[in-house]
Amino acid sequence: MKTICIIPARYASTRLPGKPLKLIAGKPMIQRVYEQAQKADCLSDVIVATDDERVCDAVKNFGGKVMMTDPKHRSGTDRLAEVALSYKDVDVIINVQGDEPMIPPKIIDALGNAFEKNPDLQMATMKCPMSEDEYNDPAAVKVVTDLQGYALYFTRSLVPYPRNAEDLKVYKHVGIYAYRRDFLLQFAAWEPTPLELTESLEQLRVLENGYKIKVLESDFKGVGVDTPEDLEHVNKIFADLEK
């Protein structure tokens, strides 16, 4: 089975313009993400997908592989699908976000291995236990699963409802995805669905069309970089690690 990683990276960002090129301990953020992905054993290739020449040049400068994509794409999934069209011999595509410079390679391997074990699996993602201070934060996406670990729903609201608080277990969705290549192309071709538009959560399109998403559990909560404060925080982490 051939598995690749695609990292969508847009230069434009409302809260942090030029985000992929922001320096983290002396290296552009997109390079940090790329280097982490390269450490995963399950991958045969890592490709950055971007719509900006500056990001493209930065990736080439550190020796990475990059593909220019249509700037009119409405989502990262569409950008992912455009790259997937050029890799016809690939079985599984793992989507790592371009603002996750600390993504553990073992997370990528866990997703890749899930497809090795289950030939019927079409899509997978991750979850982790959520801290209580995020329960009512709409930016922290929650996920509930069935007894076999497949997603029942993703939402920005607190779920499950804590009627019996002593049994409350809330899980945070970690935004890394893996797809069978053919399923990714199918998913990207579907029109947005009502719940997807209501919650602004693209993965709901899959559930609304009657397909399953396997959700693996991890203790990795993600250290995404969306604001200048996030960037400062991650730089401090890297500085401590490199002491």
pTM value is 0.93
**Residue 74: predicted pLDDT:** 81
Cβ-based neighbours of 58, under 8 Å, separated by 6 or more: 20, 21, 28, 30, 31
All domains in the chain, ordered by first residue: 3-241 (3.90.550.10)
pLDDT tens digits, 150-200: 999 999 999 999 888 788 899 999 999 999 999 999 999 999 999 999 999
Angle at Cα 237 formed by Cα 231 and Cα 238, nearest 5°? Answer: 90
pLDDT tier for residue 243 given thresholds of 50, 70 and 90 = low
To which residue do tokens 């893996």 refer? Answer: 178
Whether 157 and 142 have beta carbons less than 8 Å apart is answered as yes
Q: Tell me the C-alpha distance between 132 and 78, whole Å.
A: 34
Q: Tell me the C-alpha distance between 174 and 99, whole Å.
A: 13
User: What's the whole-number mean pLDDT along residues 20-32?
Assistant: 95
Cβ-based neighbours of 236, under 8 Å, separated by 6 or more: none
Cα separation values, 86 from 43, 50, 146, Å: 17, 15, 35
Q: Tell me the C-alpha distance between 104 and 106, whole Å.
A: 5
Query: Helix 181-189 crosses helix 76-84 at what angle (to 10 degrees)?
Result: 130
Whether 128 and 219 have beta carbons less than 8 Å apart is answered as yes
Residues in the chain: 243
pLDDT tens digits, 124-148: 999 999 999 999 999 899 999 999 9
